[in-house]
Chain A
């Protein structure tokens, strides 16, 4: 059916305006259909390709859905223990100060088991980039409650919804680290629409530009979907994310060039 509408006259190499970057390894991603991880991987690798940093970048992947990120990113990478990526990145950046270093972590990794490593790397003002994928759930282990799970949100370990009286409140790591003097650029983005993806890529670019100037941590949260964990179709999950996640995790810059740009973070309404 596709060939029926193929415009063979313009299908020429010189007319390619967009293709998958060569910095992504040519193999299928291990993520569920519609998962934001793949898009963030691609934006990250496109940025490194455009900046010519493939040979100067060392990445750190987490434990979680993106544990195999190193199989997809065609750069040198280390796989960290759960939550410890910022500790690895701290040492790497300090001993290879001219390399570009990033961590890529999910919400369980960064905001639960790795809270201490996250806070202290941010507070020390390490000169690397942290990419934080927040989908409000533990995806890889099968949809358990995460520190970022919304109030009343159902997960496999909060099957009747997250009761904040029993299970505590969702943690806004991004607003939290923005308060620390060691963070320089803190932003929250998404990748569910073309314009959101473009903004995320701009943020990633800014974060790596900051590394050139050794400004401290650039911290990018990407609010993402987990259609498997949320038990929705990808398109439904993106809609659900807009309606439920974004009010609690509003998109936009929180700190630019070391200056807080939004008023104090909203408190949880229960």
Chain B
């Protein structure tokens, strides 16, 4: 068993990054995720593992530092919250285009604009549909616990390097701030430069005599060339959609109705299941863990078995579009959401199921 600790979600993702062998963190303070950089600075990994931790002048600079580090094959991460992630869209698009691995943690807060510092899930579209320009996707992992904040840091880096693509952990202010028991995995040594060069032949590390010079760019001015770049990306995304879908089903075996929810909303729905079942309503929960790739087939299968789905999100209805696309029109699918930093209570979610789906 790994080391047990009581930690905030923000601290857990930071500790896990050090343990995963992260080479560099570049960030800018923003509530509610500042503990990530605070934890890293306090832990001084630059004295132990050699991991670089740098406070940048902006989110724009952070994400472009990420791009620089990723282009040289290093295992790099940043973190921010919604308004900061908006500023990072430039770098995300560039990294997707240049096929670079990087981990971004979005501890979301309510928007639009400066919004609020309280938790929200209103950045689903931005994360899943591609908030930046161009045809790209990034893998989006949605943790529902502090434990998953730690686990997904490691998984995120693995997926980022496996597919050479940016990966986002789409968390929220509640998961980031709350404290829970975490079982930490054993530290993995950072790669040496020689190991990196062997493992990442695509990285710009300095041109030896025996290979061509490496160019990291998303630019191809020739339309045919740029189409080839796009086709390559799309092929990669199809592979990701085939192999990397992750989800969790709770109490779905006998369920007549299901909640579909990710992250914090899924945690709330777990409690709602208990309340509903005590009332004699057979309810289950489908939790997409990867928001991209979205568990389309699994939801389609589930839709054949249940009478209705309530998509619970701390937003005005975003993931519901993907749920409806996956499930089709054969059953009733409605959205229940609170926004602006309000966290829905388990009993109000049950009432919503009763009113909108069962009785509706």
Contacts and interface: CB of A to CB of B under 8 A. Distances in A.
Interface of A: 25, 54-58, 60, 67-68, 70-71, 73-81, 84, 87-92, 94-96, 99, 116-117, 119-120
B359 to A, nearest CB: 52
B74 interface: yes
B18 to A, nearest CB: 15
Contact of A88 (B23, B54, B64): B64
Interface of B: 23-24, 26, 52, 54, 56-58, 60-62, 64-69, 71-72, 74, 76, 90-91, 94, 98, 193, 204-209, 213-219
A55 B57 CA distance: 31
A84 B71 CA distance: 14
Contact of B207 (A76, A89, A92, A95): A76
B217 A92 contact: no
B213 A76 contact: yes
Contacts of A119: 57
A262 to B, nearest CB: 27
Given A55-B207, A76-B213, A91 B66 contact: yes
A96 B69 CA distance: 9
Contacts of B90: 81, 84
Contacts of B218: 79
B62 to A, nearest CB: 8
| Across the A-B interface, the 7 shortest Cβ-Cβ residue pairs | A88-B68, A79-B217, A87-B64, A84-B64, A76-B204, A91-B68, A91-B65
Nearest to A63: B219
A236 to B, nearest CB: 30
Nearest to A58: B204
B209 A55 contact: yes
15 contacts: A55-B208, A58-B204, A68-B219, A73-B213, A76-B205, A76-B215, A78-B204, A79-B98, A87-B65, A91-B26, A91-B69, A94-B54, A99-B205, A120-B56, A120-B57
Contacts of A54: 206-207, 209
- Majority-rule SS of A interface residues: helix
B207 A74 contact: yes
- Majority-rule SS of B interface residues: mixed
B318 to A, nearest CB: 27
Contacts, number: 131
Contacts of A89: 68
B219 A91 contact: no
Given A76-B204, A79-B218, A81-B94, A117 B23 contact: no
A88 B69 CA distance: 7
B68 A92 contact: yes
Contacts of A78: 67-68, 71-72, 204, 215-217
Given A87-B64, A119-B57, 9 more contacts: A55-B209, A58-B204, A70-B217, A78-B67, A84-B61, A84-B90, A94-B52, A95-B23, A116-B58
Nearest to B65: A91
Contact of B56 (A55, A79, A87, A96): A87
Nearest to A94: B52
Given A75-B213, A77-B204, A95-B24, A84 B67 contact: yes
Contacts of A95: 23-24, 52, 69, 72, 74, 76
Contacts of B216: 77-79
Instruction: Select the residue from A88, A91, A94, A116 with max chain B CB neighbours within 10 A.
Output: A91
A76 B216 CA distance: 8
Given A55-B209, A95-B52, A99-B206, A90 B65 contact: yes
Nearest to A59: B204
Nearest to A54: B207
A189 B62 CA distance: 31
Instruction: Select the residue from A73, A77, A88, A117 with max chain B CB neighbours within 10 A.
Output: A88
Contacts of B206: 54-58, 75-76, 96, 99
Nearest to B54: A94
Contacts of A55: 206-209
A116 B52 contact: no
B72 A81 contact: no
B215 A90 contact: no
Contacts of A96: 72, 193, 205-206
B67 A80 contact: yes
Nearest to B93: A81
A235 to B, nearest CB: 30
A76 B204 CA distance: 5
Contacts of B91: 81, 84
Contact of A71 (B54, B204, B215): B215
A191 to B, nearest CB: 24
A75 B204 CA distance: 9
A110 to B, nearest CB: 14
B217 A58 contact: no
Nearest to B217: A79
